[in-house]
């Protein structure tokens, strides 16, 4: 027995944990299922959901003997029913079916449905006091205040599944909240970290999708190139850990090895390091409060050689500045920021605007929202979704003007 007050060594919980994965066929879902596959004796799959990928969902349902599966796309219910014939697996389709998947009695829920569609299912899981590995940004960016309050009142446990927030979660365990000075979220800088602003303005879709470190979906890769994703993470961190904007810093770290840091009052800085692999933060959430064996590559710092850091350039990446402005404005402004960005990214993918116009459309939409006197507290999921819908409509209306200015 060591005299050093380390955490007591104890065997990991032996009881089988029931889990549900909302968004099982997406990239986060793939990583989660990979971890479940490695330890089948430890986990029982309660429910799985997908948007419209019938083949992928059915394959997972059969492999993991899921008790219930649901598709968001109601038009594919017949196809799902036929594919599950004879299995005895309960199933459904549509929004209510997805919410039912979240309500089923799983100990642990991965909330990885992308977009605003993930808000109500995550709330349904929170309302029954589940442990929720939160990978859906909209729960916090669009509805952070009441989502976290509602989760706390229900006794839910919110586990940050995003790599940066999970890093902060781990580092924060080294001290108390009143001892915290600031948190530091790291950013790779994306493919345009060293580009001149004029060149970033003209960047192509192919160039924006060449992330130097991470393998991710199209939307989040473009957000990384614009650093809008880091702006969203600043907003999420504020709600997750009850932080003011002044307590959150961003530091560009091209190697993507240090994922987050926390500075305490004694000037100690605690950092979490790991290879850029989403299975590491998900494994931390899945095993919490214990740790499970993860499949990510072992970190070899000697091979990496050096870790470098630099301040973010707000001229290159105005989207990060706009996130802080939205957070300070409050009253739905972060919802507007996220919605306008989604409209802008879709327009960029559709070759309707240049890359540099993404941030301009977001800023114009935020300004129009504030000028319109729309600032009000959000008290429900329907409030947040109404603001999201209104902001998308405003952004779409501003799109031709923004595109013309950039031509």
- Chain segment 283-323, per-residue pLDDT in tens: 999 999 999 998 989 999 999 999 999 999 999 999 999 99
User: Can you give the pLDDT at residue 367?
Assistant: 96
Give me the percent of the chain exceeding a pLDDT of 70: 95
Asked which of 71-75, 338-342, 373-377 is least confident by mean pLDDT, the reply is 373-377
pTM of the model: 0.91
- Chain segment 219-231, per-residue pLDDT in tens: 888 998 999 999 9
User: Can you give the pLDDT at residue 147?
Assistant: 92
Domains of the chain: 17-160 (3.40.50.720)
pLDDT grade for 407, boundaries at 50, 70 and 90: low
- Chain segment 188-202, per-residue pLDDT in tens: 998 999 999 999 999
> From CA 71, how far away is CA 49, in angstroms rounded?
6
Q: Structure tokens of 341?
A: 């960005």
Say if residue 10's pLDDT is above 60.
no
Residues in the chain: 407
Say if residue 20's pLDDT is above 80.
yes
User: Can you give the pLDDT at residue 44?
Assistant: 97
> From CA 108, how far away is CA 391, in angstroms rounded?
33
- What values do phi and psi take at 25, rounded to 5? -100, 0
User: Can you give the pLDDT at residue 2?
Assistant: 47
Q: Are 171 and 164 in contact (CB under 8 A)?
A: no
Task: Provide CB contacts within 8 A for 355, sequence distance 6+.
Answer: 200, 201, 202, 203, 204, 208, 225, 226, 348
- Chain segment 50-77, per-residue pLDDT in tens: 999 999 999 999 999 999 999 999 999 9
CA 80 to chain centre: 28
């Amino acid at each position: 027995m060591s005299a050093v007050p380390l955490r007591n060594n104890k065997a990991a919980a032996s009881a089988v944990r029931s889990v549900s994965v909302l968004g099982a066929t997406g990239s986060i879902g793939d990583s989660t299922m990979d971890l479940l596959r490695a330890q089948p004796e430890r986990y029982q799959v309660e429910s799985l959901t997908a948007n419209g990928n019938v083949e992928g969902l059915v394959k997972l349902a059969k492999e993991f003997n899921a008790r219930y599966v649901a598709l968001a796309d109601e038009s594919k219910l017949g196809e799902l029913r036929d594919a599950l014939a004879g299995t005895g697996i309960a199933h459904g389709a549509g929004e209510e079916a997805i919410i039912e998947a979240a309500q089923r009695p799983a100990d642990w829920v991965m909330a990885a449905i992308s977009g605003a569609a993930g808000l109500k299912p995550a709330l349904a899981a929170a309302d029954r006091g589940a442990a929720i590995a939160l990978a859906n940004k909209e729960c916090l960016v669009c509805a952070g205040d009441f989502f976290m309050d509602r989760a706390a009142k229900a006794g839910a446990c919110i586990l940050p599944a995003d790599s940066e927030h999970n890093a902060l979660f781990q580092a924060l365990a080294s001290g108390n909240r009143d001892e915290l000075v600031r948190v530091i979220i790291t950013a790779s800088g994306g493919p345009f970290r060293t580009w001149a602003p004029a060149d970033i303005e003209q960047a192509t879709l192919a160039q924006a999708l060449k992330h130097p470190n991470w393998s991710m979906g199209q939307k989040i890769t473009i957000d990384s190139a614009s650093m809008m994703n880091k702006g969203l993470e600043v907003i999420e961190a504020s709600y997750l850990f009850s932080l003011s904007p002044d307590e959150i810093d961003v530091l560009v770290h091209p190697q993507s090895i240090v994922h987050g840091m926390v500075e305490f009052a004694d000037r100690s800085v605690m950092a979490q390091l790991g290879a850029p692999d989403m299975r590491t933060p998900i494994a931390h959430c899945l095993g919490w409060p214990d740790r499970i064996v993860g499949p990510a590559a072992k970190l070899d710092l000697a091979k990496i050689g050096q870790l470098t850091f630099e301040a973010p350039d707000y001229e290159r990446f105005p989207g990060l500045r706009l996130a802080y402005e939205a957070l300070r404005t409050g009253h739905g402004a972060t919802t507007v920021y996220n919605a306008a960005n989604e409209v802008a990214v879709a327009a960029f993918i559709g070759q309707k605007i240049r890359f540099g116009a993404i941030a301009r459309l977001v800023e114009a939409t935020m300004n129009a929202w504030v000028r319109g006197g729309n600032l009000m507290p959000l008290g429900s999921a329907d409030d947040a979704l109404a603001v999201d819908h209104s902001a998308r409509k405003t952004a779409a209306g501003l799109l031709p003007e923004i595109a013309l200015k950039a031509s």
